[in-house]
Structures are given as structure tokens and as C-alpha cells.
Structure 1
Amino acid sequence: MRIHFTLTDLARTRLAARPSPLAVTTFSAFRLVQRAGAPGLDGWRRQVRAGLAAPGDGVDRPAPQKPYFAQLAPRDPAHPIPRFLRPHIGLRTLDDELERLLSTPQRALRADLDYVGRHRPLPRWTRDLADGDLAAANGLAAAVRDYHRVAVAPYWPGLAALLAADRAARTRQLGDGGIEEVLHALGPRMRWRPPVLEVQTRAEVEYDYHLGGRGLVLAPGAFSSYVPCDPDEEQPTLYYEVAPDSDRHPLLAPLGGPHGGLAALLGHSRAAVLEVIADGVTTGQLARRVGLSPASASEHAGVLRRAGLVATRRSGRFSHHTLTALGSELLLHAAASRSPAP
């Protein structure tokens, strides 16, 4: 595939502000059935399949009545993915993104599903979804939550660290050499030959995609890459697969709490604070998620900020905390080291 840029496209190409939990979940569903990828994902597949096969308990993991998400998620590299399942603007939580999905205008849903339906068969219930049927939309949202709870949520701290570290590295590339430096370094399957980005795909036919002045959003993908295919997409997004700089993978084992080595270095509370800040949070959100008072959460964030691990910006009455490049890399290495050796 060849993605064609104009000067306007280069000027409008940018990095995604934050990862989308919904897009990560959608790409993981594809990787669950496709065995290509990092060997570390084999352990993840075994654990997820076992978790999905276990009966729901009716409280913690209610089973949806229909396999909405499994039927709509891609199963073939050539399958286009509905835009409402891979938002280019990521929100803080999956629930936030599902609320946005449920409020998607009917016209946008229909146009999205019409395009996907021209390239692969769709289940009959998607007609109801395109017609604005609330039961179909709620069924899809419930199925996404059910799958995410098993396949993504237990591994999110490691995934968030992986994606945050990659964004920090891309931001440094952008500052050092501009957007072309970023395009040069997207991975071995992508080659920047101005004004064209060549992408190796598994499709049997060659395809030229012209951005036409819309620019491109570059978003890291934890499970799979995905290249733009819809010619009418308002803001094309290229998801490039991020691989850890290690033989170990953050998905080899669930991340059930602060890593022992990281906790020994920072203390259990500050290690937990660092993991939560990987999602980008305000002081109030940080306090609630870690179980500390706002004053204690602010104090821990301040210590991490002075150590160069956390950046804080003020917006009105709120302080918003994110990881620095150093904080991202520290959390990423801690996530990798807690996984068992292959």
C-alpha cells in the first residue's frame, strides 16, 4: 500500500494525543484469532481464551446474549474496521468511549457500516444498529465491556506504559527532525520515500491511498497495525504496531499490582501512583483510583515530578498529571520484568 502526501498533508500530520482503549480492544480481538505477531502474545491468547470460555457469574462478568463484538470485530487482515470501533480521539476510559459510541449519529453509523459491508459480510443485527436500534447498540457495548474485562483490562498498566513510552519517543523524534523523522522510524514494514509512505500489507493487490490535504493521525497500536482504507474518512488514522524493546512482552502475564522491584524503589503507594498516572489523570481521579486522600495523592505526584518521572500542568482548578519519557520507560521496564521468561 502507498499513502500519498502533499505538503498540506505533512503539515497536518500529527501524533494521537492518547491511546484509545476501544481501539486497543478492537485490535486485540483481531490478534486473538491471528497468530502472527510477537511470540509473547501466545501466553496472552491462552489466558484470554480460557477466561472467555469460563461462564459468567452474573455479577462481575455478565455474558451478553449475542456475540455482537465477536461478529463485528475483524477476522482477516483485509477486513476494514468500523470507525466507531477504532476512534482516532482516545478518551480516558473504555466507558467514556462506549458512551460516545452510543451517541454516534445514526447517519454516521449507517455510512460506516455501509462501507464495511461492501468489503466483508456483516451480521443481520447490524441493520438494526444502522437504523438506530437502542437494543443493538447496548448489546454491542455490553459485548465490548465483557471482552475487554478479560482480554485487556488485566494488562492495561503494561499496555499504557508501552504506548506512553512510544509516544514520548515519537515526540522526541518530532522535535529533533520533524514529522519526516517520525515517518522514517515507524517500523520495518513501513518505508518513507517522499512524498509516499510505503506500507507492507498482507493484501494481494497494491493500493494507492491519497490523503488529499486531510493529513494523517499517527496512533500507536499495542496488538496490530491498521492502515487507512476508507477514502471518505474525515481524519485518516494510521495505527502502527508498537513492539517492546525486550524479549519479554507486557502481555505475558496479567499486571496485578505494582511490580516488586518498582515498589522497592519508590514504595508501594508511589509505584501505584506512577501506574495510574500512565493513563493521564487529575489529582482527584488519581486519589480515587489509588485509594488515597487528594492531599496524599498530590504529595506523591509532586515527589515523582521532582524526580523527573511525572509532568503536571494546571487547567483552572485542576492539576493534570502525565508521565514523562523517563517515567514511561521506567514503568515499561518494570512491566516487562514482572513477566515470566518465555
Structure 2
Amino acid sequence: MHIHFTLDDLARTRLAPAPSPLAMTSLSVYRLGHGPPSPGLDLWRRTVRAGLRASTDGGYDPFAELAPTAPSHPVPRFLRPYAGLRTLDEELERLRATPRQSLRADIDYIARHRDLPPRTVRDLADARPHETARLAAGVRAYHRVAVAPYREGLAAALAADRAVRSRQLLHGGVESVLRGLHPRMRWRPPVLELDGHADGDEYRLGGRGLVLAPGAFSTYVPCDPADEQPALYYEVFGGAHPALFTHLARPDNRRTALAALLGHSRAAVLQVAADGASTNRLAARAGLSAASASKHASVLRDAGLLTTHRTGRTVHHTLTPLGAQLLSAP
């Protein structure tokens, strides 16, 4: 696939403000069936498949019908927001509030490119509350098995990736980000070439620019011409973090080793900071006083594992790439 940029497109290309738990969940379905020969991802796939077999009730699941299971399957916009909210529950509430006109446009577009059950087309396109509730329940059930057990490692790796992209943008501009986006992507101005997609596919941004969002498990390029601003969801795992899922299958061992290295309190603070947190949130989730959490955060910051910034009276802590690497290392 070739994505064509104009000067206006380069000027309007930007990083997604935050990773989307819903988009990560939706795009992981494709990787579940079409994963690369990576030992870590293979273990994740086998574990998730077993978990899904044990948890499914065999009933109708609109999420299973809409999630991508082949390279040619487009993903509806309401399942792949590039502007992430803090939690999956918040994103599912936003999904359930999607206007009927938007739901219908998305369903109609998907139905033109792949077969969908008539029930999905009819009930979701009409924004029937019981059907959107069923869709949200399907997302939540799948997320519980495929994504939630790996939340800490995913958050750490995504934070590290965002730090890398921000540094590239700061020092080299948008073209520096495009050059280093993924090993299977090549920036040959003014075209971004993507391997693994249909040869001969040409996608012209037409001055809209591009949102670069971490797709976590897989790369996805929406080609819906109605997108106000297209988003490229690029794969974070597999190349940069090949062992991620291997060692995350043993979370208790990982926590024990991290606590032995840093001490239980600092290890807890580092893990909470994987999602980005204020000092008060660090304290609450790590079971510490605010003063103690602040002190531990200062030690971790001095060691290069956390970075801190202030917004008004609130102090926020996030992982540095080194902190993310330590948190997600075997």
C-alpha cells in the first residue's frame, strides 16, 4: 500500500493524544487469527483462544461479527477511536452514545465490503439500545480475556513508544516519525509504503493529514473516504517488544522480581505510573500516604524511571522509556 502525502498533509499529521483501549481491543482480534511466528505472540494467542473457548456462551455476539478477522475487513469507526479515554468503560459509554446517523453510516460502509448478518445490519444501524448494549458487553467479555491480563505491560510499552515518537517529532519533525514508524513501513517522500497490504493500493490523504495511533497488536489503515481525518494504527508489539507476552504470562513472578529489585512500595508506584497518574492516585492505588508516594516518585525520577510535570496544583507522573523497559522486561 502507498499512502500519498502533500505538504498540507505533512503539516496536519499528528500523534494521537492517547492510546484507545477500545481500538486496541478491536484490532487485536485480527492478530489473534493472523499472528506472526513470534514465540511471545504465539503464547498469547493460544492462551487467549483457550480463555475465549472457556468463557463464550455460544450466543449471538455483534462484536465478534464486526471485529476484523481478515486483512480486507474494514473496522467501523465506533470500534476504533483514535482519541482514547482513560478506561474501556468510558469508551464503551461513548460508543453507546454514538448518534444513529453515525452508526448507520459505519454499518452501511462495512456491509459494502464484507458480509454481515442481517440482524447486525438492522439492529445496530437503527441504534437499538439493547443491541448497542450487547455490542458493549461483547467487547468487555473479549477484553477481559485478551487484553486486561496484560494491562500493565501494554501500558508500559505504549508509554515507551509514545516517548520515542515524541522525541522523534521534537528533534526531526513529522518525517522523522514516519521514517521510524515500523520496520515494514518505508518513508520515501512523499509516499509512505506499507508491506503486508494489497499491492497497488493507493491512498491519497487529500490534505486531511494523518493521525498516527498505536494499534498495539496490528497495523490498520482505514480507507473510508468519509473519515474527516484518517488514522494509521501502527503495530507496537512483535518487533519492538518480542518477549512481551511470554513473560506477562507469569505476572506473579514478574512482580516478585521487580519488588526484590526496587522494594515493594517503589515497585507498586512504578506499576501504577504505567497508566500515568497524579501523586494522589499513586498513593491511593499503591496503598501509601501522599507524602510517601511523592518521596518514592522522586527517587524513581532521579533514577530516570519516571518523569514528572505539573498542571496547576496537580503533579502528574509517567514512565520514561527506561522505566517502561524495566517494568516490561522479563
Superposition TM-score, scaled by structure 1 size:
0.88
Whether the aligned pair in 1 keeps the contact of 2:2 and 2:203 (CA below 8 Å) is yes
What are the ranges of 5 or more consecutive residues in structure 1 without an aligned counterpart?
Answer: 57-62, 338-342
Identical positions, percent: 63
Alpha-carbon separation, structure 1, partners of 2:243 and 2:47: 16
Picking from 200, 212, 219, the partner of 1:218 is 212
Q: Which secondary structure does the structure 1 equivalent of 2:39 belong to? A: coil
Q: Does 1:278 align with 2:274?
A: yes
Determine the structure 2 residue equivalent to 1:60: none
Q: Does 1:7 align with 2:7?
A: yes
Pick closer, same or farther for the CA change 1:165–1:255 going to 2, 3 Å. Answer: farther
Alpha-carbon separation, structure 1, partners of 2:65 and 2:242: 33
Determine the structure 2 residue equivalent to 1:22: 22
Q: Which secondary structure does the structure 2 equivalent of 1:54 belong to? A: helix
Q: C-alpha root-mean-square deviation of aligned residues, in Å?
A: 2.1
Aligned residues: 327
Determine the structure 2 residue equivalent to 1:143: 138
Q: Which amino acid aligns with 1:15?
A: L
Determine the structure 1 residue equivalent to 2:40: 40
Pick closer, same or farther for the CA change 1:103–1:297 going to 2, 3 Å. Answer: farther
Q: Does 1:131 align with 2:126?
A: yes
Q: Does 1:101 align with 2:88?
A: no
Alpha-carbon separation, structure 1, partners of 2:81 and 2:37: 23
Whether the aligned pair in 2 keeps the contact of 1:18 and 1:91 (CA below 8 Å) is yes
Determine the structure 2 residue equivalent to 1:313: 309
Alpha-carbon separation, structure 1, partners of 2:140 and 2:250: 19
Determine the structure 2 residue equivalent to 1:340: none
Q: Does 1:198 align with 2:193?
A: yes
Alpha-carbon separation, structure 2, partners of 1:303 and 1:66: 51
Select between 104-113 and 283-292 the one with higher mean Cα deviation. Answer: 283-292
Alpha-carbon separation, structure 2, partners of 1:113 and 1:296: 51
1:126 Cα offset (Å):
3.5
Alpha-carbon separation, structure 1, partners of 2:312 and 2:58: 41
Whether the aligned pair in 1 keeps the contact of 2:153 and 2:248 (CA below 8 Å) is no
Q: Which secondary structure does the structure 2 equivalent of 1:81 belong to? A: coil
Determine the structure 2 residue equivalent to 1:268: 264
Picking from 203, 209, 226, the partner of 1:232 is 226
Pick closer, same or farther for the CA change 1:283–1:244 going to 2, 3 Å. Answer: farther
Alpha-carbon separation, structure 2, partners of 1:239 and 1:159: 15
Q: Does 1:290 align with 2:279?
A: no
Q: Which secondary structure does the structure 1 equivalent of 2:18 belong to? A: coil
Question: Which of the pair is proportionally richer in helix?
Answer: 2
Select between 228-237 and 135-144 the one with higher mean Cα deviation. Answer: 228-237
Select between 290-299 and 141-150 the one with higher mean Cα deviation. Answer: 290-299
Determine the structure 2 residue equivalent to 1:81: 75
1:251 Cα offset (Å):
4.8
Q: Which amino acid aligns with 2:218?
A: S
Whether the aligned pair in 1 keeps the contact of 2:259 and 2:267 (CA below 8 Å) is yes
What are the ranges of 5 or more consecutive residues in structure 2 without an aligned counterpart?
Answer: none
Superposition TM-score, scaled by structure 2 size:
0.91
Determine the structure 2 residue equivalent to 1:259: 255
1:131 Cα offset (Å):
1.0
Alpha-carbon separation, structure 2, partners of 1:101 and 1:251: 32
Whether the aligned pair in 2 keeps the contact of 1:311 and 1:324 (CA below 8 Å) is yes
Q: Does 1:154 align with 2:128?
A: no
Q: Which secondary structure does the structure 1 equivalent of 2:151 belong to? A: helix
